[in-house]
């Protein structure tokens, strides 16, 4: 039998990592003996060590996890019920929508300071809490995605942009901004891992509800199936107020070859500046250049992706 009062007494007498370990253990013992109104799984927790057996500092370690060989529901280290502190990580299976015993789980760990990583796999246990320690090692997994922005359009759709790498694909996840819980995949709502995600630097979330704000995160995947750390969380923001019709570079309320001609004249022959730069910024990267010309040609003649507004407000 574990004596929590003795642990608490020892905790007052000890310092450093040992104190953190004892506090964590006592917390999980307390969770285990609390009465539960429903039958559900408890927490998973453990120690995280670098390859040299040192502990990642707070702020260096990120992780994400999902259950059932599907990433339709994603949990990261900052959601309610999960975290990392002084060498100890934890998550609570009860915060998943379905945490049935025997479901496989995967957790991916990344030390952003030294690029060491680890993959933890197992099955949800039929007990209150499960200890799983993690040993990081140096492997060539994709880098953390950067430049994530989520722009809400006039009809409620959200255009998600990021800095892309041509050799990677991207999984897109969303939650309502009022939630502190899990993220849910929106580029493939079933979370099929056989679907490697979106190529390029943009995804238009047409399932977003007008009037709501959302948080988005993305994860990249390489050709070997390895995942990157999750991106920073992006909160939806409003589109530029001057942009009435995305891609309408000459501001004549149509998107056609005249806009291509207008952009070529502007870029190569010092032509007239757009009335609204964010309309001329057809690919939504907040620059007006030859990439926007290519983007519009693809849209007009090859049924390419619809233009989006830039967000500079100019």
pLDDT for 286 equals 84
Q: Which of 38-42, 60-64, 87-91 bottoms out in mean pLDDT, i.e. has the lowest?
A: 38-42
- Distances in Å between the Cα of 264 and the Cα atoms of 190, 248, 309 are 42, 14, 19
Q: What is the mean pLDDT of the chain?
A: 86
The residues spanned by each domain of the chain are: 1-35, 37-138, 149-238, 244-314
pLDDT at 305: 87
Among 9-18, 32-41, 81-90, 202-211, top mean pLDDT goes to 81-90
Superfamily of domain 149-238: Immunoglobulins (2.60.40.10)
Whole-angstrom Cα distance, residue 47 to residue 114? 18
54: Cβ–Cβ under 8 A, 6 or more apart, which residues?
none
- What pLDDT is stored for residue 247 in this prediction? 93
Which superfamily, per CATH, for 37-138? Carboxypeptidase-like, regulatory domain (2.60.40.1120)
Q: What is the pLDDT of residues 100-132, one digit of tens each?
A: 899 999 999 999 999 999 999 999 988 878 999
pLDDT at 19: 44
Q: Is residue 156 scored above 90 in pLDDT?
A: no
Tell me the DSSP string of 100-151. Answer: -TT-EEEEEEEETTTTEEEEEEEE--SSSEEE--EE-EE--PPPPP---EEE
- The overall pTM is greater than 0.75: no
149-238 against 244-314: fold identical? no
13 pLDDT higher than 80: no
We find that the CATH architecture of domain 244-314 is Orthogonal Bundle (1.10)
For the segment 240-253, what is each residue's pLDDT rounded down to a tens digit? 678 888 899 999 98
- Range list of H helices, the chain: 4-13, 16-33, 257-269, 277-280, 290-302
């Amino acid at each position: 039998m574990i004596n929590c009062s003795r642990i608490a007494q020892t905790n007052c007498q000890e310092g450093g990592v040992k104190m953190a370990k004892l506090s964590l253990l006592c917390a999980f013992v307390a969770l285990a003996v609390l009465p539960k109104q429903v039958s559900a799984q408890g927490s998973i927790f453990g120690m995280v060590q670098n390859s040299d057996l040192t502990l990642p500092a707070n702020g260096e370690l990120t992780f994400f996890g999902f259950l059932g060989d599907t990433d339709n529901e994603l949990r990261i280290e900052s959601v309610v019920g999960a975290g990392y502190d002084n060498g100890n990580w934890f998550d609570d299976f009860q915060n998943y929508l379905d945490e049935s015993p025997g479901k496989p789980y995967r957790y991916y760990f990344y030390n952003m300071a030294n690029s060491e990583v680890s993959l933890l796999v197992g099955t949800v246990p039929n007990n209150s809490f499960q200890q799983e320690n993690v040993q990081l090692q140096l492997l060539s997994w994709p880098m953390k995605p950067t430049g994530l922005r989520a722009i809400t359009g006039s009809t409620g759709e959200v255009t998600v942009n990021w800095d892309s790498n041509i050799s990677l694909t991207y999984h897109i996840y969303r939650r309502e901004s009022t939630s502190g819980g899990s993220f849910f995949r929106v580029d493939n709502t079933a979370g099929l891992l056989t679907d490697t995600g979106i190529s390029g630097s943009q995804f238009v979330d047409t399932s977003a509800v007008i009037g709501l704000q959302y948080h988005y995160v993305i994860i990249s995947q390489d050709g070997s199936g390895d995942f990157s750390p999750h991106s920073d969380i992006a909160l939806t923001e409003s589109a530029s107020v001057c942009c009435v019709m995305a891609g309408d570079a000459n501001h004549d309320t149509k998107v056609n070859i005249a806009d291509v001609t207008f952009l070529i004249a502007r870029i190569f022959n010092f032509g007239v500046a757009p009335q609204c730069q964010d309309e001329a910024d057809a690919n939504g990267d907040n620059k007006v250049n030859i990439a926007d010309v290519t983007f519009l040609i693809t849209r007009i003649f090859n049924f390419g992706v619809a233009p989006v507004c830039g967000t500079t407000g100019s």
